[in-house]
Amino acid sequence: MIRVLLADDQALMRAGFRALLDAEDDLEVVGEAADGAAAVELSRRLRPDVVLMDVQMPGLDGIEATRRIATDPLLTAVRVLILTNYEVDSYVFDALRAGASGFLLKDADPADLLRAVAVVARGEALLAPSVTRTLISEFVTGAPPGDLTAGREVLTAREQEIVELVARGLGNDEIAERVVISPATAKTHINRAMMKLHCRDRAQLVVWAYDSGLVAPRRR
> What pLDDT is recorded for position 146?
45
Q: Closest Cα to residue 98, out of 206, 211, 204, 205?
A: 204
Residue 38 sits in the same domain as residue 86: yes
| Mean pLDDT computed over 47-69 | 93
Predicted TM-score (pTM) of the model is 0.70
Residue 24 sits in the same domain as residue 116: yes
Residue 114 sits in the same domain as residue 51: yes
Residue 122 sits in the same domain as residue 14: yes
Amino acid at site 49: D
- Mean pLDDT estimate for the chain: 84
Residue 21 sits in the same domain as residue 89: yes
- Does 99 or 28 have the greater pLDDT score? 28
Residue 23 sits in the same domain as residue 73: yes
Task: Provide the residue range defining the domain that includes 96.
Answer: 2-126
Q: Note whether residue 25 is domain-resident.
A: yes
CA 171 to chain centre: 16
CA–CA dist 36, 63 (Å, integer): 8
Q: What is the pLDDT of residues 109-132, one digit of tens each?
A: 898 889 889 988 987 777 655 556
End-to-end distance of the chain based on CA atoms, in angstroms? 46
Residue 109 sits in the same domain as residue 65: yes
> What pLDDT is recorded for position 144?
46
3-state secondary structure the chain: CEEEEEECCCHHHHHHHHHHHHCCCCEEEEEEECCHHHHHHHHHHHCCCEEEEECCCCCCCHHHHHHHHHCCHHHCCCEEEEEECCCCCCCHHHHHHHCCCEEEECCCCHHHHHHHHHHHHCCCCECCHHHHHHHHHHHHHHCCCCCCCCCHHHCCHHHHHHHHHHHCCCCHHHHHHHHCCCHHHHHHHHHHHHHHHCCCCHHHHHHHHHHCCCCCCCCC
Residue 118 sits in the same domain as residue 183: no
- pLDDT above 60: residue 177: yes
> What pLDDT is recorded for position 48?
97
Residue 96 sits in the same domain as residue 26: yes
Residue 109 sits in the same domain as residue 180: no
Residue 101 pLDDT grade (very low, low, confident, very high; cuts 50, 70, 90):
confident
Q: What is the pLDDT of residues 127-152, one digit of tens each?
A: 655 556 566 555 555 544 444 445 77
> What pLDDT is recorded for position 172?
87
Q: Note whether residue 84 is domain-resident.
A: yes
Domain with residue 173: its CATH number is 1.10.10.10
Overall number of domains in the chain: 2
Residue 30 sits in the same domain as residue 111: yes
- Does 215 or 24 have the greater pLDDT score? 24
> What pLDDT is recorded for position 9?
94
Task: For residue 40, count CB atoms less than 10 angstroms from its CB and return exposed for 0-12, middle for 13-18, buried for 19 or more.
Answer: buried
Domain with residue 99: its CATH number is 3.40.50.2300
From 22-26, 68-72, 139-143, 165-169, the region with the lowest mean pLDDT: 139-143
- Does 69 or 136 have the greater pLDDT score? 69
